[in-house]
């Protein structure tokens, strides 16, 4: 019985450690976004740069910013109807190339974005900041 309890405790603890918590701090995320500004813009006057604008990114279809020329791999993922949920952005920001290779099951998939945001807190904060530029979902509005 003790072994079962230890095993259950280990599984629970491991799940807790590896499961991202999407409750970032938008104010801190604004500071994190400074790392992104070389390639991206956000806000009402944003324009595509080296990377696409990020206004409205949370909840939008992947690779759907008008006027931006995406790479083949991310276009292929977008064509599946995949959406930039908080979970997807969290994975993407950690390692874009690894993310695409896993999602497309293609060891040769490439990403134009080479930047990696390794710290989980930074990713959560950045996503919270980007969400402030995205339309509220009907569920969120109903809760307000």
Domains identified in the chain, total number: 1
Please check whether residue 112 lies inside any domain of the structure.
yes
Please check whether residue 95 lies inside any domain of the structure.
yes
Q: How many residues does the chain have?
A: 144
The pLDDT of 29-50, averaged and rounded, is 96
Please check whether residue 55 lies inside any domain of the structure.
yes
Please check whether residue 125 lies inside any domain of the structure.
yes
pLDDT digits (tens, 9 = 90+) for 49-95: 999 999 999 999 999 999 999 999 999 999 999 999 999 999 999 99
Instruction: Supply the pTM of this predicted model.
Output: 0.79
Please classify residue 59 by burial: count the beta carbons closer than 10 Å to its beta carbon, then call 0-12 exposed, 13-18 middle and 19+ buried.
Answer: middle
Please check whether residue 143 lies inside any domain of the structure.
no
Cα-based distances in Å from 29 to 36, 117, 121, 125, 126? 11, 12, 9, 4, 4
Please check whether residue 68 lies inside any domain of the structure.
yes
- Residue 30: give its domain's CATH number: 1.10.760.10
Mean of the per-residue pLDDT values of the chain = 85
Domain range holding 71?
22-135
Tell whether the model's pLDDT for residue 138 goes beyond 80: no
Please check whether residue 124 lies inside any domain of the structure.
yes
- Measure the CA–CA gap between 111 and 22, rounded to whole angstroms: 24
Please check whether residue 81 lies inside any domain of the structure.
yes
């Amino acid at each position: 019985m003790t072994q079962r309890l230890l095993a259950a405790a280990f599984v629970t603890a491991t799940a807790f450690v590896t499961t991202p918590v999407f409750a970032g701090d938008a104010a801190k995320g604004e500071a994190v976004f400074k790392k992104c500004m070389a390639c991206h813009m956000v806000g009402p006057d944003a324009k595509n740069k080296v990377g696409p604008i990020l206004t409205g990114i949370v909840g939008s279809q992947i690779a759907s910013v008008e006027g931006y020329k995406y790479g083949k791999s991310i276009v292929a993922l977008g064509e599946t109807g995949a959406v930039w949920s908080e979970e997807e952005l969290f994975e993407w920001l950690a390692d874009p190339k690894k993310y695409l290779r896993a999602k497309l099951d293609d060891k040769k998939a490439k990403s134009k974005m080479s930047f990696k945001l390794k710290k989980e807190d930074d990713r959560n904060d950045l996503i919270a900041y980007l969400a402030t530029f995205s339309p509220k979902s009907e569920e969120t509005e109903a809760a307000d």
